[in-house]
Amino acid sequence: MIIVNLDIIMAKRKITSFELAEKVGITQANLSILKNNKGKAIRFSTLDKICEVLQCTPGDILDYEGGEEEND
């Protein structure tokens, strides 16, 4: 399954959820979904903006871990 390591990068860059959400142009609720690995997909445009704001690559944010996807 795909793991989103957004909170780690955010901590490294010392940026709050509010700031990031505002700079990327998404709601805090959606950012929270992404951070908590509850999202089903991410648009390239959103990923692009996140990478631009956090000065990182998609590989820094997204990671792959073996095992089945959790279904809520």
Give the binding site for other proteins (CB under 8 A).
26, 30-31, 33-34, 38-43, 46
Q: Whole-number minimum distance, CB 22 to other proteins, in Å?
A: 15
Q: Cβ closer to other proteins: 16 or 32?
A: 32
Q: Whole-number minimum distance, CB 61 to other proteins, in Å?
A: 12
Please state, in angstroms and rounded to a whole number, the distance separating the CA atoms of residues 48 and 52: 6
Q: Whole-number minimum distance, CB 63 to other proteins, in Å?
A: 17
Contact status, residue 1 vs residue 70, Cβ threshold 8 Å: yes
Q: Cβ closer to other proteins: 10 or 31?
A: 31
Of the candidates 25, 29, 39, 24, the residue with the CA atom closest to the CA atom of residue 72: 39
Please state, in angstroms and rounded to a whole number, the distance separating the CA atoms of residues 69 and 72: 10
